[in-house]
Structure 1
Amino acid sequence: MPESRTAFAAADVLTTRRLMLRPWRVDDAPAALDVYGHAEVTRWLSPEMDQVPDEAAMRLLLQQWNAESARLPAPAGRWAVERTSDGQLIGGALLLPLPPGREDLEVGWQLRPDTWGNGYATEVTHALAAWAFSQDVYEVFAVVRAGNTRASSTLRNNGMQWVGETAKYFGLDLQVFRLRVADLDPAAPATLGPPGRD
């Protein structure tokens, strides 16, 4: 695989130039609620994920995510996204098998709205794809609700190709993007789009 600007400190911690993707901790609940408590974030997520109402619900969800990640084989999992310059938790990231057959691996992210437009989603997507590809995965997918042009732009910034629409996942009409090993641009995290693109 070509040299990448994404480095892997350990199997459960991924680092980029500006971010650290690390396991969730239950004490992340207040900062996580700043992400998953926003309707602007959760409106684009799967129907299985509602807006989180309070810290107690967020703590319970983080415990469930940690238990889920512990059961999943690498490279699948869920991560907290922390900005390294100030240690702020700014979002979450995932590599999860897509329903119903669980044969396709989904790459995804959720970021606090006040951090949008800084290229963080592009870095997260690149880091997750590079991690998956380092673990003998040959393609990853992203599914996007119609109208989520910000996410579609981020996926294209990472070289993901639109492959069509389907109702196969989550029972919704979703746009499907795919990235294969040969399509991952090692320079993508260093070549961030203009503000407002992700």
Structure 2
Amino acid sequence: MDLFGAGTETTSTSLEWALFELLRNPRTMKELQQEARKIGQGRSVIPEEDIDKMPYLKAVFKEALRLHAPAPLLIPRESTKEVKLLGYDIPSGTQVIINAWAISRDPSVWEEPEEFKPERFLNSPIDYKGLDYELLPFGGGRRKCPGISFAVTINELALANLVYEFEFALSGEKSLDMSENDGVTVSKKFPLLVKATPCE
């Protein structure tokens, strides 16, 4: 149940934040829709095997995860040996909590860290698989999320097909409220309310 709950809540949260950012950034939404429609070529859906042909989609999803990691404080770790870090002595057995949210918005690492700019990932080798420590929405090392491949595939496939099939318009006053819920998983406080109109 833990794996199922963790996998579904974080996936839906990531998708909602990605759509939220696209609605806040109409130019980005338009560019992603153009890419999706070029790949879709009038078919009923974009299949999974075509997702790798969509670099802008991948950049949008990375940027959404950078700004809105579903679990901003990663699962606690414990140091296995004594270490000195940035002048601090950390004894063996110390519980360590990584703040992925702060790392992803660090101005010494990211240019304009509060801005949603998927283009920053178009020609960048930075990935979220746990080897680039400036982007850790799934954690890193041996204790990273075991469902990275599943989560990324589901989110990219869903997002690609949503923007391919529909035009979105806001519905409701609180739709673009950036308030977040408290908790292990950080979702929007107010649900994203949109009107989806099938594309012709």
TM-score (norm 2): 0.23
Higher helix share: 2
Higher strand share: 1
Larger RCO, structures 1/2 (Cα 8 Å, 6+ apart) = 2
TM-score (norm 1): 0.24
Indicate the structure (1 or 2) with the bigger Cα radius of gyration: 2
